[in-house]
Amino acid sequence: MSAVDKKAVLANDRFSQPALPSVDQIRAAIPKECFEKNLPLALAYMVWDFILLIFLYKIEPIFELGGLPGMIFWYFIVGMVLSCIFVIGHDCGHTTFSNYQWFNDFIGHICHGMIFTPYWPWQKSHRHHHTYTAHLKKDAGHAWTTEEVWSSWGEFHRFYATKGGFFLMMVGWWFYTIAGIADGSHFWPFSKLFKNNTERIQCVISGLVCVGWATAAFYFFGTFPLWIKFYVLPCIAHSFWLLMITYLQHQTDDIQVYEDGTWGYLRGQLQTIDRPYGFGIDYLMHHITDGHVAHHLFFTGIPHYNLMKATAVIKEMLEPYGVYRYQKSPDFLWQLAALTNRLEYLVGEGTGLLKYAKKKNID
Ligand SMILES: [Zn+2]
Ligand SMILES: [Zn+2]
């Protein structure tokens, strides 16, 4: 047995679990209709989201009466509704919106392009996140911080990576998609994200769609300050929501991250947490919050409107093994603040299993 194999066996022993049901067994237990796409229903959800967005813009003057707090609240809600629309585009990218590839791509470019997200490039990087969830090196959708990386940072870097959580969520989307940290730029056709000319052409097309939407918004709102107010700031609010949701779905004190030799598809996907936010948010956001384990296991199979039916089965099957993660999160903002502050770095690199180092106060 090679040294690498030995290391893998050792690491596997350390977190061995009773044999879990296989992905195929879980799939077989889920009602078949959960895997069926319903195009009229998918379109109805999309139209509903757009009606909600238009309504919010119509009633914006009421929020202005509340001054700065009123407007912050407005942006908070607008960011959420834009994220609902984003989830529709997310289904398009996973081909669960309709059975027609061209139609998925068309709707995806509407729902993502309008939030300055290049549809095809993000579809690619997001699929990578799904394919290698919780793999230290390959799941670049999450910038895992290891002990080694953490120790190379100065005080300021450590401060904004933890205490600056909220601010990072607001700008993180642009660092990720434009600057390309860590998957490569989603807007630059020659970035490391793209492997062939088809992908590079797709990058240019999706990028131009984003520019087209931003330009249309500029002419629609008429002036630069209004464009900032009604287009740029809502996009930033969307960044906050999307990154908060993503963070909370994959980060908690006992999350496990794996390496080559110990990572496995099911094991990786189960490092996902279902978090009901309450207040109707889960319904509005098409269950990206409380049906995320089901989404991760069958990301190209289950449309958003069937996630909760599948979740009930998954919960029943996996809960006895202690591997179904669920946490009620009506205090999601507080949880985000607490976790970004608390979860500093992963320890155990090289052993096959990484976990968060616990601070003394939570030991
Ligand atoms: Zn995910
Ligand atoms: Zn997904």
Rounded average pLDDT over 1-29: 64
- pLDDT of 7 > 60? The answer is no
What's the pLDDT at 108?
Answer: 98
C-alpha 6 – ligand 1 centre gap (Å): 30
**Residue 231 near residue 60 (C-beta atoms within 8 A):** no
What order do you get walking across the sheet with 353-356 strand by strand? 257-258, 353-356, 346-347
Segment 63-78, tens digit of pLDDT: 999 999 999 999 999 9
Ligand found nearest the CA of 307: 2
Residue 51's pLDDT band, with cuts at 50, 70 and 90, is very high
More confident of the two residues 8 and 343: 343
More confident of the two residues 169 and 323: 323
Ligand found nearest the CA of 93: 2
Question: What is the rounded CA–CA span in Å between residue 275 and residue 289?
Answer: 5
C-alpha 251 – ligand 1 centre gap (Å): 10
Residue 18's pLDDT band, with cuts at 50, 70 and 90, is low
C-alpha 2 – ligand 2 centre gap (Å): 36
Rounded average pLDDT over 119-139: 93
What is the number of alpha carbons within 13 Å of residue 322 lying toward its C-beta?
6
Share of the chain above pLDDT 90, in %: 77
Range in 128-132, 152-156, 205-209, 245-249 the model is least confident about: 152-156
Ligand found nearest the CA of 125: 2
List the structure tokens of 59. Answer: 């009633």
List the structure tokens of 191. Answer: 């970035």
C-alpha 269 – ligand 1 centre gap (Å): 8
Segment 251-282, tens digit of pLDDT: 999 999 999 999 999 999 999 999 999 999 99
Cα angle, residue 287 at apex, residues 286 and 288 outer, rounded to 5°: 95
Range in 4-13, 31-40, 294-303 the model is least confident about: 4-13
Question: What is the rounded CA–CA span in Å between residue 302 and residue 94?
Answer: 9
Range in 29-33, 162-166, 196-200, 230-234 the model is least confident about: 162-166
C-alpha 322 – ligand 1 centre gap (Å): 20
Chain mean pLDDT for the chain:
90
- pLDDT of 1 > 60? The answer is no
Range in 147-161, 228-242, 257-271 the model is least confident about: 147-161
C-alpha 354 – ligand 1 centre gap (Å): 18
More confident of the two residues 221 and 141: 221
3-state secondary structure the chain: CCHHHHHHHHHHHHCCCCCCCCHHHHHHHCCHHHHCCCHHHHHHHHHHHHHHHHHHHHCHHHHHCCHHHHHHHHHHHHHHHHHHHHHHHHHHHCCCCCCCHHHHHHHHHHHHHCCCCCHHHHHHHHHHHHHCCCECCCCCCCCCCEHHHHHHCCHHHHHHHHCCHHHHHHHHHHHHHHHCCCCCCCCCCCCCCCCCHHHHHHHHHHHHHHHHHHHHHHHHHCCHHHHHHHHHHHHHHHHHHHHHHHHHHHCCCCCCEECCCCCCHHHHHCCCEECCCCCCHHHHCCCCCCCHHHHHHCCCCCCHHHHHHHHHHHHHHHHHHCCCEECCCCCHHHHHHHHHHHCCCEECCCCCEEEECCCHHHC
What's the pLDDT at 11?
Answer: 45
C-alpha 89 – ligand 2 centre gap (Å): 10
Residue 222's pLDDT band, with cuts at 50, 70 and 90, is very high
Question: What is the rounded CA–CA span in Å between residue 327 and residue 275?
Answer: 5
Question: What is the rounded CA–CA span in Å between residue 24 and residue 199?
Answer: 31
List the structure tokens of 210. Answer: 């984003």
Report residue 274: phi and psi, to 5°. -85, 125
C-alpha 249 – ligand 1 centre gap (Å): 7
C-alpha 245 – ligand 1 centre gap (Å): 9
Segment 329-355, tens digit of pLDDT: 999 999 999 998 888 899 999 999 999
Share of the chain above pLDDT 70, in %: 93
List the structure tokens of 53. Answer: 């967005």
Ligand found nearest the CA of 286: 2
**Residue 290 near residue 342 (C-beta atoms within 8 A):** no
Range in 16-30, 106-120, 124-138 the model is least confident about: 16-30
Rounded average pLDDT over 142-155: 86
C-alpha 272 – ligand 1 centre gap (Å): 7
List the structure tokens of 35. Answer: 């895997």
Report residue 8: phi and psi, to 5°. -65, -40
Q: Residue 257 pairs with which residues in a beta bridge?
A: 354
Range in 3-17, 250-264, 298-312 the model is least confident about: 3-17
